[in-house]
Chains A and B, each alone.
Chain A
Amino acid sequence: MRGSVRLWIALLLRRSHWERELREELEFHIRARADHLTADGVPPEQALRRARLEFGPVERWKERCREARGAWLLDEVVRNLRDAWRSAVRSPGFVTVAVLSLALGIGANIATFGLLRELLLNPLPVRDPEGLQQVALSTVRRSYYTMPYPKFATLRDEFPIFDTIFGWGTQEEVQIAALDRAEPGRITLVTGSFFDGMGLRPAMGRLITPQDDRPGGGANVVVLSSHIWHRLFNADPGAIGRTIRVRDLTLQVIGVVPPEFAGPEPAVPADIYVPVHAMQPSRPNLISGPGLMWMHVMTRLKPDVPVETAERVLRERWSEIDRVQQARRGDNTRPEYMILEDGSHGYSSVRIEFSQPVVVLMGLVAIVFLIACANLASLLFVRASRRSGELALRVALGAGRGAIVRQWLTECLLLALVGGAAGLLTARWITPVLLQFVPEANRGALEFEATPEVLLFATLLSVGAACLFGWIPAFRAARVNANDVLRAHAPSLSAARGRIAGTVLALQLAASLILVAGAVLFARTMWNLGKQSTGFDREAVVYARPQLFRMPGFDRKQVPTLMQRILLPVEGSRSFTSIAVGQVPSGGAGGWGWARVAGYTFAPGEDNVVYSYFVSPGFFRTLSIPLIAGRDFVEADATAKLTPVIVSEKLARHYFSGRDPIGAQIAVGAAPPAQIIGVARDIVDVSLRTPPNELIYRPMSLYSFGDILARVAPNVDPAEAERQLRAAVESAAKGVPLQTGRVEDVIQASLERDWLVTGLSAALGLIGVLLACIGLFGAVAHWATGRTREMGIRMVLGATRGQIAWMVLRQGLIVTGLGLAVGLPLSLAAATLIRPLLFGVSPADFLTHAISALFLTLAGLIAACWPALRAASLNPLEALRYE
């Protein structure tokens, strides 16, 4: 490394040395000729002048000598860089605007790219992530990425084609307590071969093995994640062998995973890993429940087995097994298949949910980038025309056109690299803002990192930008005709330049229009979603979610008494008209299973998924969900031998079209058959975008574990009611982690993804319009300056200031109009691409595009305002004298 630096220095020194010698050599010739002439009798100064004339253009000969010598690329590059730096320092205004534009454009791209990479592209940091396959349960309609343990056991035992097969499932948040500290965290239950299958090595201690996960009571051991090890044990190596307490389990720490492995689900950090069977005593149905879908399953195939073969074997053999099981169950539910999917990125619900919007986002950000580059191209045009005098001089002195182009490109590259560096800084600031829009649960370990990959991307963007905006002005600059420019006779030149600059500007405005139209479409989607009816009352209902299981010394048997203590004051309070316990609908928090109705035969491929909720009596009244048939639950229903259930309208129509469903029996999943006693109106239970699911409500006692829902009395402030509810819970169950709120907030939270897209597209739209307006402002100002003399003449001839101002404004409007003309069809086309993300508004919606066009026109007018005002305030005499 030092050697090549020495070489550089040597080359630089040698080059300047050679240049000095060349100058000396040519000077010698001129002087020798002058001496000769003097000797012939010509007066000395005249002799010198004649000698110089006879010699010809010195610069050109020098240049030819340099070329004859062969390209000294390195030195030329260094010289160009130096010149570029000097000329940049001389025009700080231009540089500031240019760098700002680039910083915004490049920064936005880098931030989004980083987010995209984290969410979607990063493979798991395990051995050979490409060899991992996810096993998914598939029906004709869709795939399910979780399955019950018994199915996993079947896969493990009956399929030797898998080299290793393992599973995991992350449970809800709990308190993890070490000796003197406690941290909230989640347990990731893993099967014995999880770590071996992933191909991980411990950072410390050892990892869980199949020995630890034996049926009949696994070992009470735990593997810590790196961040929990830091937080609970201060990264103390002596943590191995110590114990931690989780719920009612005492677990011994046996090892720590490497810090770069954040868990099998990117963006959901895994905190601690516990063998599945360690939970068996306290939650036996995790292992034995045939309908509890909680496990993600992954496998590594044997090295010589291609994926297609494994998939075929899986599908065929599983169908056999399934057929046997169905025959044993004696039902005709439709068949299920097992399929394999790429597992190299781990499982990510975020990936699946966000991949579409993030791709759209990348498209929007790319448009912003292009606008920024276009801005720069325009700026450079203006700069080129201002420097045309200097350029013409250089050409006249003999500088080769190649050299001029190279110098221009160096300037552009320098600008672009500085802009790229500024973009990296901007990205660091933008990323936290972007993350605000990602739902908290999924934010995980995402943050801005200047990894080599990101830096490479930034460099590529900068160089790409330089190529985009630097090329055309460079070549135009090289084509300058010295004579024309020096004689200030260049109308054709500036006209041609004006045309190209105008086209670039129009394209910028068109691109901005696309961004604005997109933002408006997303905003209207949000509006429509907000107005969408959920089928239940979300305004007047507050909820409380006490996490009773987190109480120290928690015992399930205490729940009824606890809940009685909590609910007594609430039931008696005048602030609430109705109270129930259940689940806040929305977000799909219900369990699900496959339904069977006596006497109903399924068509092949027919979907029979139903979602179930446990609700107490009073649930429907509290949420104002009408019961269109039958009755509500009563307390006794919870313990009835033949469980009564209430079904949703859609389910009733599906299985009982026309007939009265009351009294019929329905079985879901592995649960025993239940009797229908009522039918409720459909509600939106997953998301406002999707149609309601078929629901089945099961009864539970009012004094059981769940969300407390309370309907606020008409004249009471919901915030005050919420406070009362919170107080009631806290006084009865001290120190319990408690979440309260309005049901409305839960609905809003489910729209987080949409808020992300809307917010970001609005921000990007504004940035795009801002950039385009900067460009428009510059172009109009330049245009106005070029016509200063003409305006002076007009004013002298009697034009009013208003007319002059209108001249400038009109120019701005013309360009904006051109941009709109190009932009409208483009934005209509682009809008169709985002159709899947829209709700309640068509991509070709007239109002949307009209508003966008109006907004852009207004922005264009504002941008052209200042040049117009300045033109109007010109002193006519000064204007006439303007060169």
Chain B
Amino acid sequence: MAPKVDLLPGTLDLLILKAASLGPQHGYGVLLRIQQITAGALTIEQGALYPALHRLEHQGLLASTWGTSENNRRAKYYRLTAAGRRRLGDEAASWRRFVDAMTAALEAGPGEV
């Protein structure tokens, strides 16, 4: 497993949106998905997920419904809305731009300045 990295502030929302884009999931499922897609490299405090989920729902990027889970318990499922999909696309694009810029900056050799 890759070494664990702490989450940069603001990136949790992005991860949640990405996780939800892969299909409706309850909070614990979102957590598992995030661990999967980051290959466990990013750590988050489990409870911190929920304020973020509620915030995103309040902003209209996620929608929730109550359903039954795999082991027959009631759970709240979140799915991505159209607005959420759009936001995911925008945020991902700007993240990529940021990463490209940082990578370029950090790989600059003394001669290129």
| A residues in contact (CB < 8 Å) with B | 21, 24-26, 28-29, 31-33, 35, 54-58, 60-61, 64-65, 67-70
Contact = CB atoms under 8 A, between A and B. Distances in A.
A35 B48 CA distance: 20
Given A25-B76, A55-B47, A32 B54 contact: no
Interface in B2-23: none
A60 B47 CA distance: 9
Contacts of A35: 71
B99 to A, nearest CB: 28
B49 to A, nearest CB: 8
Contact of B50 (A24, A25, A54, A70): A25
B12 to A, nearest CB: 12
B46 A64 contact: no
A411 B47 CA distance: 31
A35 B70 CA distance: 12
A64 B54 CA distance: 9
A57 B47 contact: yes
Nearest to A25: B76
B48 A32 contact: no
Given A25-B75, A32-B69, A70-B58, A61 B48 contact: yes
Contacts of A33: 28, 46
A61 B50 contact: yes
Given A28-B26, A33-B28, A65 B69 contact: no
Most buried by A among B27, B28, B45, B55: B28
Contacts of A58: 47
Contacts of A60: 47
Contacts of B47: 26, 55-58, 60-61
Specify the main secondary structure of chain B where it touches its partner.
helix
B73 interface: yes
Contact of A28 (B49, B54, B58, B75): B75
Given A29-B28, A33-B46, 16 more contacts: A25-B50, A28-B26, A28-B27, A28-B73, A28-B76, A29-B49, A29-B50, A33-B28, A55-B46, A56-B48, A64-B51, A65-B51, A65-B54, A68-B52, A69-B54, A70-B58
A67 B27 contact: no
Contact of B46 (A24, A56, A69, A70): A56
B21 to A, nearest CB: 20
B46 A68 contact: no
Given A24-B74, A68-B54, A68-B58, A56 B45 contact: yes
A427 to B, nearest CB: 48
A865 B76 CA distance: 64
B34 to A, nearest CB: 13
A61 B52 CA distance: 10
B63 to A, nearest CB: 15
A55 to B, nearest CB: 5
Contact of B28 (A32, A57, A64, A70): A32
Contacts of B45: 56
Contacts of B28: 28-29, 32-33
B51 A25 contact: no
Interface string B51-85: 11011001000000010010101111000000000
B58 A69 contact: yes
Contacts of B69: 28, 32
Q: Report the 8 A-B pairs with minimum CB-CB distance, sorted nearest first.
A: A64-B51, A56-B47, A68-B55, A61-B47, A32-B28, A68-B54, A65-B54, A29-B28
Contacts of B73: 28, 31-32
B6 to A, nearest CB: 15
Given A69-B58, A70-B58, A29 B27 contact: yes
Contacts of B46: 29, 33, 54-56
The CB with the most chain A CB atoms within 10 A, among B46, B47, B71, B73, is that of B47
Contacts of B31: 29
Contacts of B71: 35
A883 to B, nearest CB: 35
A28 B50 CA distance: 12
Given A32-B28, A33-B28, A56-B45, A65 B75 contact: no
B40 to A, nearest CB: 14
Contacts of A69: 54, 58
Interface in B21-43: 26-28, 31
B3 to A, nearest CB: 20
B93 to A, nearest CB: 26
A28 B70 CA distance: 12
Contacts of A24: 74, 76
22 contacts: A21-B76, A24-B76, A25-B27, A25-B50, A25-B75, A25-B76, A26-B47, A28-B27, A28-B75, A29-B26, A29-B28, A31-B73, A32-B75, A33-B28, A55-B46, A56-B46, A56-B47, A61-B48, A61-B50, A65-B50, A68-B58, A69-B58
B26 to A, nearest CB: 7
A383 B46 CA distance: 37
Contacts of A57: 47
A364 B51 CA distance: 54
B44 to A, nearest CB: 10
A55 B73 CA distance: 19
A840 B25 CA distance: 90
Contacts of B49: 29
B1 to A, nearest CB: 16
